[in-house]
Amino acid sequence: MESKLPFGKKNYQWMIIGIVTLVAGFIIMSLDNKPHGFGFMGLTLGPILIMAGFGIEIFAILHKPVK
């Protein structure tokens, strides 16, 4: 029986990983102790994680499920 869901199980797993990565990036940016978030975590580490999270989300959406 063919599933009526638009994505496969792996797609949803990758989407969850991407969301967790995005949330971790925003949390890391908010934990920066420098004024206005101008430290390493606020300007470098957090944005890198956020961009990685968006990349994972794009991969999860465009990846075709294996049948």
pLDDT score at 14: 96
pTM of the model as a whole: 0.87
How far apart are the C-alpha atoms of 13 and 55, rounded to whole Å? 14
How many Å separate Cα 55 from the centre of its chain?
A: 7
Spatial distance between the Cα atoms of 53 and 47, rounded to a whole number of angstroms: 10
pLDDT, tens digit (0-9, with 9 covering 90-100), for 5-36: 888 899 999 999 999 999 999 999 999 989 88
pLDDT confidence band for 1 (50 / 70 / 90): low
Mean pLDDT of the chain: 92
What is the per-residue pLDDT for 52? 98
Yes or no: say if 34 and 42 are a contact pair by the CB < 8 Å rule: yes
Q: Measure CA of the first residue to CA of the last residue in the chain; give whole Å.
A: 11
- The answer, yes or no, to whether residue 49 has pLDDT greater than 70, is yes
